[in-house]
Amino acid sequence: MGAILSESVHSFEFSEAAVVAGADPIIRVLIYLIIMLVAAKLGAELFERVGQPAVLGELIAGVILGNIVLLDGNWSFFEPLRAAVLTDHAAIGIDILAKIGIIILLFEVGLESSVKEMRRVGISSFLVAAIGVVLPFVLGYFVSAVFITKVPKEILAISPNFNINNIHMFIGATLCATSVGITARVFQDMARIQTPEARIVLGAAVIDDVLGLIILATVSAIVSSAETGKDLSLLEIVKLTTIAIGFLVGALLVGIYFVPRVMRVAAKFRTQGLMLITAILLCFGLSALAGEAGLASIVGAFAAGLILEEIHFREFGTTVGITALIQPIATIFVPVFFVLMGIQVHLESFFTPAVLGVSGGLIVAAMIGKQVCGLVVREKNVDRVTVGIGMIPRGEVGLIFASIGKGLGVIDNEIFSAVVIMVIVTTFVTPPLLKWSIARAERKAALKKEDEE
């Protein structure tokens, strides 16, 4: 059966000669999508059945697809997607779809937050977020500096004058992120979503997203400028950070006054689907503007999500919310991103001590960096261990940061694989650790209450 499938897939091999002959690359793209989406849903289903996040199932499914070639050398169908630099037409097509998935995902994250929530999170959430971004960045930089002492040949092939400090900075940036969706799911499943710990973690995650995106934008600009032979001065870094913050603030302020008026005009049209199209246009428009401003496009997508609220769509006279309308689009595009990230993990690189050393160091740094941030909570009777554990998972946000680094040529296959290991481990360990911590805190509170009585 495997031989038949492999032979069938090989019959669709795509090459420059085939393009000249008139072959349509969409055939390979469609076959890629069929296999990737089926694998994503099977992986998600399996992992959800064992109480783990669906995103892990999609990621592992990609790892399996991309590394089947290690078991059967004849299975090379996904090799074009594993290349350091994508040159195959079909592979580039899948990469574009995956990037759209990133934009849609960050748009969804923004929709789940709001400006009002950001104002209500309080000083504890801000402190938790700030420490939870700065400390992991420093620890990640340190781990990279210890284990990566020279620029990998794969990166030098792309950028001969590459500065190794850019690698250290980008690895530090990947540790800044927090995937709060996993933590929120655990709190929700245990009916503890309204506890002080949950409110602090969820509030901190909103700020964490903003700070993380600003760091990502700054580090990306530093890397891009270094490739042109220029080094950013401290003044330019401050300027870039100001632009990033100014873009977010400006987008929010414009959105407050501009979006309601646009929605009122759009609601007067009778064209079907205008509510969804208006939201998508805002998302893509701000993403493009962010890119033109020198920021990552996902910064604009996140800002678009923050701007839009359900109240803006009331005049459309529908009971279906914008989040529900976006969901089918995300269901298609977002898994493509996660499966592609898994496909690009080279398991053969795990046999090298350097990769295992980097991944081990990153796991320790990732967990310590977020655990310490729980210590700055100001409120009394709040379990700081639970807050710290709730901030540990990197999940999809960490993968987004890593994929951008790979796209910029700052992260090679081995470093990328080490980062993915860190993401998988931190995402896996959080649910059981969080359940244990919540139960421990409740037992401690119960014993304290008995002593007082």
- Torsions phi, psi of 451, nearest 5? -65, -40
C-alpha dihedral (359, 362, 367, 373), degrees to nearest 10: -170
The Cα 208–Cα 342 span in angstroms is 25
> Which whole number is the average pLDDT over 154-169?
76
What is the average per-residue pLDDT within 404-427? 83
What's the pTM value of the predicted model, to 2 decimals? 0.72
Q: Which domains does the chain have, with CATH numbers?
A: 97-443 (1.20.1530.20)
Question: Locate tokens 């205008």: which residue?
Answer: 274
- Please provide the average confidence, as pLDDT, over all residues in the chain: 79
Residue 136 has pLDDT above 80, yes or no: yes
Displacement of CA 448 from its chain's centroid (Å): 40
For residues 120-148, average pLDDT: 87
User: What is the percent of the chain where pLDDT is above 90?
Assistant: 12
Q: What are the distances in angstroms from CA 300 to CA 232, 246, 284, 376?
A: 23, 12, 8, 30
Summarised one tens digit per residue, pLDDT across range 74-118 is: 778 888 888 767 788 888 999 999 989 988 988 887 787 666 666
- State yes or no: pLDDT of 422 exceeds 80: yes
Find the Cα–Cα–Cα–Cα dihedral 218, 211, 400, 433, rounded to 10°.
Answer: 140
pLDDT tens sequence across 344-397: 888 877 777 778 888 899 999 999 998 888 888 887 788 888 889 888 887 667
- CA separation for the pair 302, 290 (Å, rounded): 10
Residue 4 has a pLDDT of: 39
Name the range with the highest mean pLDDT among 119-128, 355-364, 425-434.
355-364
| pLDDT value of residue 180 | 63
